[in-house]
Structure 1
Amino acid sequence: MPWTRPRLNRSKARSKSGSKAHRRYSPSPRSPWLRWPGSRRRVRAALLAAARTAAGYGWPVLPGAYAVPGLLGPCSCEDPACPAPGAHPHQPPLPAATTDARMVGWWWAERSPDASVLVATGRTVSAVSLPADAGARALEYLEVLDVPVGPVLLAQDRYVLLVAPYTLAELGELLAEQPWVPGVMRYHGPDGYLLLPPSRTAEGGVRWVRPPVGGRPWLPEVGGLLGALIAASSVAADGSRLAG
């Protein structure tokens, strides 16, 4: 019988080469959590600690979406057109926010360790935010007037001043008393939420400008701050007054 060359099973060859290629795969530089697992553990530990601390203040928290680098992004919600990557509730929904220590621990330790830390506003904490340059002016002005200020965040180029909870009706009455209210101000009251440090969005991180002090931080009434916040928001970056 004449000799014939053995036939190569190409499907098996492809399978073997594919498995070897998979084993040789090195993570992309755009996947930092895969390259530096120690860094990922530290970030996760910081998120869990922040969630537990906020819940200890009596602020209801829940895990939010988080920014995803590279081709899998931009957001863990898996919407390629997400308008606010890493900066919104996802699963669970906002009404699930809680101060229960066991639930908070399970959420960040087991279910969503990379999740942003969201605090639901309107129950025990609310906020007012304005552009960062106006926020810095407002803090200086309030300090000159010796008006006490509570915790302050810097998130997405905005200063966020945490205040005591208010209702929409109360806020409406306070704003109605003002001769003019700039449109750049935002109000985080009932059915709203805030990102807490060390959460990160696609636009960058969130940090404290003035961190909370004490076991249950004092929060000012929004009415005592509105005048200064409106005045600071009425001035352009070059010092000129905006048209009213």
Structure 2
Amino acid sequence: MFIVEETIAGADAVQIPTQRGESLLDTAVRYAEERHWDVVPGTWTEVVDGVHVCSCGDLACSAPGAHPGRPDWAAQSTGSATVARRMWQQRPDASILLPTGRTFDAISVPETAGLLALARMERMGLTPGPVTRTPHRRTEFFVLPGAAAKLPELVRELGWALPSLDLAVLGEGAYVAAPPTRVGCRGAVQWVRRPTRENRWLPDAEELASALAYACGRDR
């Protein structure tokens, strides 16, 4: 169940739904079963002497509990709900990672720019796909695969140079951490726009490029 728990000041006070009442196992299975997303268990956090530490053992880990735990993680990912259930039964506190470049890419922008872009999309009558907010204050927009190849030219045509904008695309070989994965003591990844029947068909990067580039340009 998705419950609105907080709002973030910014573009039209976009509401952030927080997921409650489901285990990581149940959620990972649901992503595979209902959305047909590949999932793979990542690292997890442990509390040692009152401090959150990553299972990878690196005390300076930049994403404790929210990154792959093995080099062959991409090959270990699965779209099978049965296999996903077995994986998380073995490690119930593992983070949920979604490989990008398969059923979707993700466009990552600063949180404030993402919320501004969402408000602009709504005014333009656009329907974004699922959007997450990370504890690192980034918003990640799920779009059709291939965005990494398209976006530089799309942004250039809009009058921007991609390196000048804090905008990145996660495509083949990358991943996103999915709600309700926690990132150390920073908090959990949350849905800004959760997966629904209405946004099952993802937008192409071209549909969102203008709103995202404009918002990132204003956020500089």
- 2:28 counterpart letter in structure 1: A
1:55 lines up with 2:35 in the alignment: no
Q: Which has the larger radius of gyration?
A: 1
In the TM superposition, what is the alpha-carbon distance from 1:100 to its structure 2 partner? 1.4
Gap runs ≥5 in structure 1: 1-42, 237-241
1:140 lines up with 2:122 in the alignment: no
1:228 lines up with 2:211 in the alignment: yes
In the TM superposition, what is the alpha-carbon distance from 1:102 to its structure 2 partner? 1.9
CA distance in 1, matches of 2:58, 2:21: 23
Gap runs ≥5 in structure 2: 1-19
Given candidates 49, 67, 72, the residue that maps to 1:88 is: 67
Select the structure that is richer in strand.
2
In the TM superposition, what is the alpha-carbon distance from 1:171 to its structure 2 partner? 3.5
In the TM superposition, what is the alpha-carbon distance from 1:150 to its structure 2 partner? 1.0
CA distance in 1, matches of 2:84, 2:29: 7
**Equivalent position SS for 1:74:** strand
- Report the TM-score, using the length of structure 2 for normalisation: 0.80
- 1:152 counterpart letter in structure 2: V
CA distance in 1, matches of 2:201, 2:208: 14
**Equivalent position SS for 2:102:** coil
User: Partner of 1:15 in structure 2?
Assistant: none
1:118 lines up with 2:97 in the alignment: yes
- 1:213 counterpart letter in structure 2: T
CA distance in 2, matches of 1:77, 1:160: 25
Structure 1 residues 205-214 or 62-71, which shifts more?
62-71
Matches within 5 A, 1:207-218: 207-214=190-197, 217-218=200-201
CA distance in 1, matches of 2:120, 2:24: 33
**Equivalent position SS for 2:23:** helix
In the TM superposition, what is the alpha-carbon distance from 1:175 to its structure 2 partner? 3.7
**Equivalent position SS for 1:114:** coil
User: Partner of 2:46 in structure 1?
Assistant: 68
In the TM superposition, what is the alpha-carbon distance from 1:183 to its structure 2 partner? 3.3
Select the structure that is richer in helix.
1
In the TM superposition, what is the alpha-carbon distance from 1:160 to its structure 2 partner? 1.0
Change (3 A) 1:215 1:142: closer
**Equivalent position SS for 1:51:** helix
Count of paired positions:
194
Identity %: 36
- 1:226 counterpart letter in structure 2: A
- Report the TM-score, using the length of structure 1 for normalisation: 0.73
* Native 8 Å contact 2:151 2:209 kept in 1: no
